[in-house]
Amino acid sequence: MNPESIRFGLDTFGDMSLDDSGNPKSAGQVIRDVVEQAKLADELGLDSFNIGEHHRDDFAVSSPDTVLAGIATVTKNIKLGSGVTVLSSEDPVRVYQAFATIDALSGGRAEITAGRGSFIESFPLFGYELNNYSELFEEKLELLVELLKEKPVTWSGTMRAALNNQEVYPKTESGAMPLRVGVGGSPDSVIRAARLGIPMALAIIGGDPARFAPFRKLYSEALEKFGREQLPVSIHSPGHLADTDEQAVEEQWPHYQEMFGRIGRERGWGPTTKMHFISEVNGGSMYVGSPETVARKIVHAIQSVGANRFDFKYANGPMPHSKLMHSIELYATKVVPRVRELLAQG
């Protein structure tokens, strides 16, 4: 594996955040902060910036494509993508059109990551039945793959009106936009990605990333079975960077406690404890620490899974914008070069 070929990105869901005095910010200010974070990532030479979609009061971004369109006009080089587009409750035609527009605004820098999402609020919001969860995603992903060929589309399914030799506009200048599919650990999702010939993005948010190595192996074998060339695999994992390990832990813990504590109460999980958080920091998939500590953890993840890309979810809970900006700076200027150096050393 050539260390220089590894790509490094940033992910955010636009978590509702606090100012430096601990006061809550408005959703509008959080969205403007996300734009500033993307501008910094671009200036520092990172490869990609990805924004997730949610429909809850703890996240500011419900329309990532709109935010990405704004970012496209104030950045120059960085790839701009979703992380993820909740395709089950979206219309694939509108997804294509929105990202083709971002591609135009950015000069060819748009990419789509399609996924099921980890929340279900979008289903009742847009009039979809949750018991159609699997069928909606399967059909819409297949349609999106056809749309991205940018040729007349003839398609039919059970969840959406058919298309008959339908042209969809605007066309991109390059004639193609990248697509990834988000996978959380289902073998069926891995095989689907291989069957459709889509690069796979593994969401690894807990435990040792090495436990996902069998999914990488399954993906490679499935690609070969379907007669496809090998495709890149990326990792999405959360974390926070500070100058020292101790500082990073103390900065992240209260925000992690608030975010995962709420989600846990909603889903009936046990209480969120600092012991569990520390165990994920030390041996799991929370990349919290100094640049050296986080760089070594990323190397372990990349080597364990055979990944070609690592997307660092730098915002986790109501962390102030100033600390997020410092985390981004450390990631770009210290972690990424150190990861490349460690990989080169083998």
pLDDT band at 261 (very low <50, low <70, confident <90, very high): confident
Assign domain 3-318 to its CATH superfamily: Luciferase-like domain (3.20.20.30)
- Residue 71 has a pLDDT of 98
Tokens of residue 149, six digits: 């060929």
> Is it the case that residue 346 has pLDDT exceeding 90?
no
Tokens of residue 28, six digits: 């509008």
Mean pLDDT, residues 265-285 taken together: 91
> Is it the case that residue 68 has pLDDT exceeding 90?
yes
Backbone angles phi, psi at 115, to 5 degrees: -160, 175
Mean pLDDT, residues 313-342 taken together: 98
> Is it the case that residue 271 has pLDDT exceeding 90?
no
Per-residue pLDDT tens over the stretch 6-16: 999 999 999 99
- Quick one: what percent of the chain has pLDDT higher than 70? 100
- Residue 263 has a pLDDT of 87
Name the least confident of 220-224, 264-268, 295-299. Answer: 264-268
Mean pLDDT, residues 224-234 taken together: 98
Per-residue pLDDT tens over the stretch 124-170: 999 999 999 999 999 999 999 999 999 999 999 999 999 999 999 99
Domain ranges of the chain: 3-318
> Is it the case that residue 1 has pLDDT exceeding 80?
no
Computed over every residue of the chain, the mean pLDDT equals 96
pLDDT band at 339 (very low <50, low <70, confident <90, very high): very high
Per-residue pLDDT tens over the stretch 28-64: 999 999 999 999 999 999 999 999 999 999 999 999 9
Tokens of residue 65, six digits: 């494509």
